[in-house]
Amino acid sequence: MNITLRIWRQANASAEGRMVTYQVQDVSADMSFLEMLDLLNEDLTLKGEEPVAFDHDCREGICGMCGVVINGTAHGRGESPVPTTTCQLHMRSFEDGATIDVEPWRAGPFPVIKDLAVDRSAFDRIIQAGGFISANTGAAPEAHAAPVGKLQADRAFDAATCIGCGACVAACPNSSAMLFTAAKITHLAMLPQGQPERYSRIKTMIAVHDEEGFGGCTNIGECAEVCPKQIPFDTISQLNRDLIASLFKKDGK
Amino acid sequence: MTTTTPAAPKTAKTQSTEYFEVGAEIKDAKAPGGAIEQKWSKRKFEAKLVNPSNRRKMTVIIVGTGLAGGAAAASLGEAGYNVQNFCYQDSPRRAHSIAAQGGINAAKNYRNDNDSTFRLFYDTVKGGDYRSRETNVYRLAEVSSNIIDQCVAQGVPFAREYGGLLDNRSFGGVQVQRTFYARGQTGQQLLIGAYQALERQVAAGTVTMHTRHEMLEIIIVGGRARGIITRDMVTGEVESHFADVVVLATGGYGNVFFLSTNAMGCNVTANWRAHRKGAYFGNPCYTQIHPTCIPVHGETQSKLTLMSESLRNDGRIWVPKRAEDCEKDPRQIAEGDRDYYLERIYPAFGNLVPRDIASRQAKNMCDEGRGVGPAVKEFDAEGNERFVRRGVYLDFAEAIGRIGKDGVAARYGNLFDMYAQITGEDPYETGMRIYPAVHYTMGGLWVDYDLSSNVPGLYVTGEANFSDHGANRLGASALMQGLADGYFVLPNTINDYLAGSSKFEKVDETHPAAVEALESVTDRIAKLLAVNGTRTVDSFHKELGNIMWEYCGMYRTEAGLIKAIGLIRKLRESFWKDVKVSGVNEDFNQTLERAGRVVDFMELGELMCVDALHRRESCGGHFRAESQTEDGEALRHDDEYAYVAAWEYTGTAQTPILHKEPLEYEFIELKQRSYK
């Protein structure tokens, strides 16, 4: 296959960016999207041009490091028959001769570092605000001390599969990180171990979410549509229920 | 002060060759004597303590944020130390522990199937083909139950039964059900648990996180590890960081093969830099080749994807009996024309034989010309181009007949989806194609019972050290070791060293050792950028990978390894003459990052070949063609090789020095493994 790429090039956070057109030849249908970018970068390097910077690591759809907007949708969801990360999108999803637009996640709280790589450290700060259970090493009771019903366990698991890639934010017109936050809220709220901090956690996490500049949720649903791990949209309902309930809790927060 | 006690050199035959020299024997001086069940309690009691009010005055550098690094950073932060934690990714949650799928072993005996700490210990030593240290492995089994308790308390969503209790499955060649799992994403869930505990400590101010920082050198002052040099991967700034103790939790070095199941960024640089500064490298040739990976699709492949070997619980592995059937649609090949070779050769264990055996037999079938799938280009031992089908079928037709498509989907749905997405084939309809791939490296920096390297103040945890797995790692034991080291071992041994830290020399940027370390890094970067040749970094990495896979992969021969050493030396020369690293240092420069890693991989690759060459026996993942039984199985030589090979660095392209740590088996009797 031969592909035309139009890629966002931006030297650093303060530089101005622009779309630049490249041709990539001899693309195989079995290549992943990132392997196709590797091919471009090998070619650019040999020509003495600067390769395109993009984040990636595990290349098996689990670390959450990769992520670009492809033809207008996060992780190329619009091109893929199934939910996917960028690394698991394969070139068989494209026609020979296709022109593909490649852009970084675009959201205020995710400033561009270079080309397609962005800074997602705001996600870590949301977790720091309460996305955990306070259980010091060594202090744990026997694992079977607190059984968890299978339905709750499964719901916790579904929410816990979030990989923190940021596609939800990139897809949201409000740049809201509500699906990311709700996934962690729901994961921990479903488990008996998560109960003691359930209603304090939500207030501190939402506060940091807002401070970081992420927008509010207006129930558009693009986030869940592009989510490679299919975090259920109703986790946001769970978050809202818990947030309202938390207003009536006297927990000193 | 030294943490190892070199014993008097034995009069044993000198084995020195042009490739290495033999030095003094070494031994672990930390494990106390007595009954194996008492050793860990005794060691914890004897270790010196640090007063809680003094801990915040002590700085601990931890490199890596996976299970071993993240768990240690969180635990030492909770204990009150000042922890400086580094990772090359944009967030500690990305560490490659996240990709482990299958599960984590623990001797809980929840299944009432006669499991125990001793049995887990026994299985791990046996699985490691009697090349691991008894004391370390027993402790691993001993703390395994605490790990499950800790993870459940953190909210790790393990699989549960309807009664709300934890589910277990059997895994990879053992006969009890002791593996805890979280669908096919156990590593992810355990890592997120450790990550959350870590972020809690970041919020508490005990841990400072340095993301997008790569460690490029270690600072040794007065014989002690006192700091590291890092490069800020966004700005290019080369910085020095100081501490009372340095912990490397930097994972394995499988990417020396270029194609592996490791993440693209996994590298050996931190370990190798420590090795160059005096830390011994233990058993570098011990590599695990995982049998159930998706085969290579072509020359532009950048990495390989593993599918959990839990698939072998229900899938049946076969190839056509006749080479001429290999091109056929597998559904057109009659039952009688299929060779379920693992069931045929190993009737007792069948498809559940250990990883090394399953991998080697798949290679044998493909070498015989009975492989399936596309023929891929490769080079034979003489360097001639050839095309070979590298794949065998992993077939679920029988399982679908037995438990239905839904039953199979419930157990393996996410793996089937992953396979379909990567290959474009539907595994419910046709058998999966699988082939072995490099997955895990049992070798790593040599450590004692306290997880201290031979360099005082340098501790090494998780896959980065050599301990616990011997020559071969059992399935579901990597997660166990990472978390055991991080949560329970290191936090109870590092205090013994730190208790003396008030007497350490003061160090800062002006110390000659720090200046020297920093300059060596900036010089190396400048040198890489100055070559400005005609070949890309990846082209060198791929060539190195081809050499390693062909000569130091599943099947190793004396002649092949010697040839590989020569090829690697030539490659290294050509790299420094002809590599092209674009851009500048003061930038987000991914080519420069990769170039630095490939430099260290090339040196490591040579040491791996030397280690493989010197070990003239087959054991675990290391198969030497010169040492096999009449029916082609691995043949160990306990009389000659029951030791850990700890290598001392003497200079690039200089002959390294081999220090042997004899392995004494007090509690387990050595046996030849037999799965027939």
Question: Is the separation of the CB atoms in B301 and B538 below 8 Å?
Answer: no
Residue A229 lies in a domain: yes
- B207 versus B310: which is more confidently predicted? B207
For residue B159, list chain A residues with Cβ-Cβ distance below 8 A: 153
Q: What confidence score (pLDDT) does residue B3 get?
A: 42
Residue A251 lies in a domain: no
Question: Is the separation of the CB atoms in B246 and B291 below 8 Å?
Answer: no
The pair of three-digit structure tokens given for residue A108, joined into one six-digit string: 């205020």
> In terms of domains, do A189 and A172 share one?
yes
In the predicted structure, residue B35 carries a pLDDT above the cut 50: yes
For residue B211, list chain A residues with Cβ-Cβ distance below 8 A: 121, 124
What tens digit of pLDDT does each residue of B488-543 get?
Answer: 999 999 999 999 999 999 999 999 999 999 999 999 999 999 999 999 999 999 99
H-helix or E-strand spanning residue B105: strand B104-105
Q: What percent of chain A has pLDDT over 90?
A: 98
pTM over 0.90: yes
What tens digit of pLDDT does each residue of A49-90 get?
Answer: 999 999 999 999 999 999 999 999 999 999 999 999 999 999
> In terms of domains, do A129 and A241 share one?
yes
Q: What percent of chain B has pLDDT over 90?
A: 87
Q: How far apart (Å, rounded) are the C-alpha atoms in residues B223 and B507?
A: 13
For residue A59, list chain B residues with Cβ-Cβ distance below 8 A: 263-264, 302-303, 305
Q: Please give the ipTM for the structure prediction.
A: 0.98
> In terms of domains, do A81 and A133 share one?
no
Closest partner CB to A62 (pick from B152, B188, B487) = B188
- B385 versus B470: which is more confidently predicted? B470
Q: If phi over 0 gives left and psi between -120 and 50 gives alpha, with beta otherwise, what is residue A175? A: left
Q: What confidence score (pLDDT) does residue B171 get?
A: 80
In the predicted structure, residue B14 carries a pLDDT above the cut 60: no
H-helix or E-strand spanning residue B27: none
Q: What confidence score (pLDDT) does residue B124 get?
A: 95
Q: What confidence score (pLDDT) does residue B4 get?
A: 44
> In terms of domains, do A239 and A200 share one?
yes
Question: Is the separation of the CB atoms in B293 and B363 below 8 Å?
Answer: no
Number of Cβ atoms within 10 Å of the Cβ of B27: 18
Q: How far is A53 from chain B (nearest CA, A)?
A: 7
- The domain that holds A85 is classified in CATH as 3.10.20.30
H-helix or E-strand spanning residue B210: strand B207-210
Q: What does DSSP assign to residue B628?
A: B
Residue A252 lies in a domain: no
Q: How far apart (Å, rounded) are the C-alpha atoms in residues B80 and B57?
A: 9
> Any idea which residue has 């630049």 for tokens?
A20
Number of H helices, E strands in chain B: 17, 22
> Does A157 contact chain B (CB < 8 Å)?
yes
The pair of three-digit structure tokens given for residue B132, joined into one six-digit string: 């691991």
Q: How far apart (Å, rounded) are the C-alpha atoms in residues B269 and B250?
A: 9
Domain ranges of chain B: 289-438
Q: How far apart (Å, rounded) are the C-alpha atoms in residues B409 and A253?
A: 45
Q: What confidence score (pLDDT) does residue B15 get?
A: 57
> In terms of domains, do A241 and A127 share one?
yes
Residue A72 lies in a domain: yes
List the beta bridge partners of residue B288.
B440
Average pLDDT over all residues of chain A = 96
Question: Is the separation of the CB atoms in B360 and B556 below 8 Å?
Answer: no
Percent helix, strand, coil in chain B, to 5, is 40, 20, 40
In the predicted structure, residue A205 carries a pLDDT above the cut 50: yes
Those of residues 173-202 in B touching chain A at CB distance below 8 A are 182-183, 185, 188-189, 192, 195-197, 199-200, 202
> In terms of domains, do A138 and A182 share one?
yes
> In terms of domains, do A28 and A55 share one?
yes
Domain boundary among A55, A90, A113: A113
Picking from A62, A190, A146, the residue whose alpha carbon sits closest to that of residue B191 is A62
Number of Cβ atoms within 10 Å of the Cβ of B88: 28
> Does B96 contact chain A (CB < 8 Å)?
yes
Residue A90 lies in a domain: yes
- Phi, psi at residue A123, to the nearest 5°? -65, -40
Burial of B614 (0-12, 13-18, 19+ CB in 10 A): buried
Q: How far apart (Å, rounded) are the C-alpha atoms in residues A209 and B190?
A: 24
In the predicted structure, residue B430 carries a pLDDT above the cut 70: yes
Mutate to test the interface with B, among A10, A55, A57, A144 (most CBs of B within 10 A): A57
Domain that holds residue A201: 120-246
In the predicted structure, residue B2 carries a pLDDT above the cut 70: no
In the predicted structure, residue A253 carries a pLDDT above the cut 80: no
For residue B423, list chain A residues with Cβ-Cβ distance below 8 A: 30
Residue A187 lies in a domain: yes
What tens digit of pLDDT does each residue of B220-278 get?
Answer: 999 999 999 999 999 999 999 999 999 999 999 999 999 999 999 999 999 999 999 99
| Orientation of helix A178-189 relative to helix A235-246, angle to 10° | 70
> In terms of domains, do A127 and A241 share one?
yes
Q: How far apart (Å, rounded) are the C-alpha atoms in residues A154 and A152?
A: 5
> Any idea which residue has 């077939």 for tokens?
B395
Q: How far is CA B182 from CA B38, B411, B415, in A?
A: 32, 11, 13
Maximum CA extent, chain A: 65
Q: What three-state secondary structure class fits B551?
A: helix
Highest-pLDDT range among B177-186, B408-417, B444-453, B467-476: B444-453
In the predicted structure, residue B428 carries a pLDDT above the cut 90: yes
> In terms of domains, do A165 and A213 share one?
yes
Centroid of chain to Cα B395: 29
> In terms of domains, do A78 and A129 share one?
no
Question: Is the separation of the CB atoms in B67 and B75 below 8 Å?
Answer: no
Q: How far apart (Å, rounded) are the C-alpha atoms in residues B263 and B255?
A: 8
Residue A60 lies in a domain: yes
> In terms of domains, do A125 and A242 share one?
yes
What tens digit of pLDDT does each residue of B361-390 get?
Answer: 999 999 999 999 988 888 777 778 889 999
Average pLDDT over all residues of chain B = 94
Q: How far apart (Å, rounded) are the C-alpha atoms in residues B247 and B306?
A: 29
B289-438: in CATH 3.90.700.10: yes
Query: What DSSP string describes B212-235?
Result: SEEEEEEEEETTEEEEEEEEETTT
Q: What three-state secondary structure class fits A115?
A: coil
Q: How far apart (Å, rounded) are the C-alpha atoms in residues B615 and B611?
A: 6
Confidence class of residue B354 from pLDDT cuts 50, 70 and 90?
A: confident
Question: Is the separation of the CB atoms in A129 and A117 below 8 Å?
Answer: no
User: Rounded to a whole number, what is the distance in angstroms from the first to the last CA of chain B?
Assistant: 49
What tens digit of pLDDT does each residue of B542-574 get?
Answer: 999 999 999 999 999 999 999 999 999 999 999
Q: How far is A221 from chain B (nearest CA, A)?
A: 24
Question: Is the separation of the CB atoms in B245 and B57 below 8 Å?
Answer: no
Q: What is the average pLDDT across B145-162?
A: 96
In the predicted structure, residue B7 carries a pLDDT above the cut 80: no
Confidence class of residue B173 from pLDDT cuts 50, 70 and 90?
A: low
Domain boundary among A113, A131, A155: A113
Q: If phi over 0 gives left and psi between -120 and 50 gives alpha, with beta otherwise, what is residue A115? A: left
The C-alpha angle A130, A131, A132, rounded to 5 degrees, equals 90
How many folded domains does chain A comprise?
2
Number of H helices, E strands in chain A: 8, 7
Amino acid identity at B436: P
What tens digit of pLDDT does each residue of B398-418 get?
Answer: 999 999 999 999 888 888 988
Question: Is the separation of the CB atoms in B144 and B131 below 8 Å?
Answer: no
Mode of pairing for the β-strands spanning B643-648 and A117-118: unpaired
Mode of pairing for the β-strands spanning B207-210 and B179-180: unpaired
- Asked if B146's CB is within 8 angstroms of A140's CB, the reply is yes
The pair of three-digit structure tokens given for residue B325, joined into one six-digit string: 């059937």
What tens digit of pLDDT does each residue of A121-173 get?
Answer: 999 999 999 999 999 999 999 999 999 999 999 999 999 999 999 999 999 99
Q: How far apart (Å, rounded) are the C-alpha atoms in residues B621 and B471?
A: 6
> Any idea which residue has 């672990």 for tokens?
B28
- Asked if A58's CB is within 8 angstroms of B264's CB, the reply is yes
The pair of three-digit structure tokens given for residue B652, joined into one six-digit string: 């690039």
Domain boundary among A93, A113, A133: A113
List the beta bridge partners of residue B437.
B290
What dihedral angle (degrees, nearest 10) is formed by the CA atoms of B604, B541, B67, B466? -20
> In terms of domains, do A134 and A92 share one?
no
The C-alpha angle B94, B586, B571, rounded to 5 degrees, equals 75
In the predicted structure, residue B675 carries a pLDDT above the cut 60: yes
Confidence class of residue B8 from pLDDT cuts 50, 70 and 90?
A: very low
